[in-house]
Amino acid sequence: MYNIRGVNEFMKKLVLFLLMVSLFGALGSTASSYSASKIPEATETVCNETVYNESACNETVCSENACNEIVCSENDCSESACSETACSETEIQCSASSQDTALTTTNYSAQMQAKMVNIKSDSKVYSAYTAAPAEEGNYPAIVLIHSFKGFEPGYQTMINRIAEDGFVVFAPFWQTYSDSPSDAEVEALIRNSIAYLETREDVDSERLGLTGFCAGGRYAMLFLPQIKEFKSGVAWYGFPYTGGSELQPARPASLIDKLDAPMLMIHGTRDQYSNITDIYKYAGKLDSADKYFELKVYQGERHGFMITENGGLSESFVAQDAYEEMITFFDRTLVTFCDRTLGNLTL
């Protein structure tokens, strides 16, 4: 009996001991759980991750800053403050549609000065690039009509050189409102270009010339017989037989009888758009009508050879030679200009 009682006492103590061990173990686990749940540093880590996400937002802000750069680009390409500022400084209108191009809008050198101006024609405003000799004087003037591809930088370079060679040059952006305006619209613009030149003190309005390239070459062929203010003209790779449509009713070749001013035609034998055979045919009709013309043909040259593929002025031997042909012709017909009544050149 004594032994059983001792065993019972031992078992009670053992159970109590085990209960206490279990209790302390539970308390330790709770404390550990509490410590693990609190984890202020871990929470800060989570917060730091949140901060990192905010940093990602800051990266978004950086992206937005990049967007601001894009906005700036958009400003450069639209009628925005940047463009308006450029316009206000250069007097160039912002809505130039297909005529948009990178221009040095004000040019000054020891030999010439250039700027952008606006003129009105048929209730519309057109921008134009104009250059003149820097020295005061009374100079012959040339209206220059650019090609169907627009006023490329090469034309600006060419105009500046023509001004350095002693001419006032005026180049209206004839495609401002349409890539293919009517002949009537272009004629009105050219006549208003003449009206503008007649207001300038540095222009001798009795010595005006017309030149054009590609579609502008056709306009030179078309309007030289019709606009008598022009004393001579140079047609670069023109289209004497293009016409007969609603927008272009007349063909230059149909106006030969009205041509009084001397004309120089410059062309390439491998012009892929205006075949050289048409130029020879047109030249033959001019000769039959006893109209003074000169023809300069460059073997192997294609359409638009004065302007390079990237829009610059070609510096090839042919391009330089053709440029000199034009300047020499205008020197002979405008500086020492022709007697329009007799139709003969005073050389």
Indicate the range of 25-29, 185-189, 260-264 predicted with least confidence: 25-29
- Give the pLDDT score at 109: 74
The region of weakest confidence among 92-96, 148-152, 267-271 is 92-96
Query: What pLDDT is recorded for position 285?
Result: 98
Least-confidence region, from 71-80, 116-125, 302-311: 71-80
pLDDT at 26 over 70: no
Other beta carbons less than 10 A from residue 58's beta carbon: 13
The pLDDT of residue 181 is above 60: yes
- Model confidence pLDDT, tens digit, residues 34-61: 344 333 333 333 333 333 333 333 333 3
Mean residue pLDDT of the chain comes to 79
Average pLDDT over residues 66-89: 31
pTM of the model: 0.70
Q: What is the pLDDT of residue 201?
A: 97
Q: Which of 12-21, 117-126, 237-246, 314-323 has the lowest mean pLDDT?
A: 12-21
The per-residue pLDDT for 73 is 31
**CATH dotted code for 95-335:** 3.40.50.1820
Give residue-wise pLDDT tens across range 210-266.
999 999 999 999 999 999 999 999 999 999 999 999 999 999 999 999 999 999 999
> What is the model's pLDDT at position 338?
47
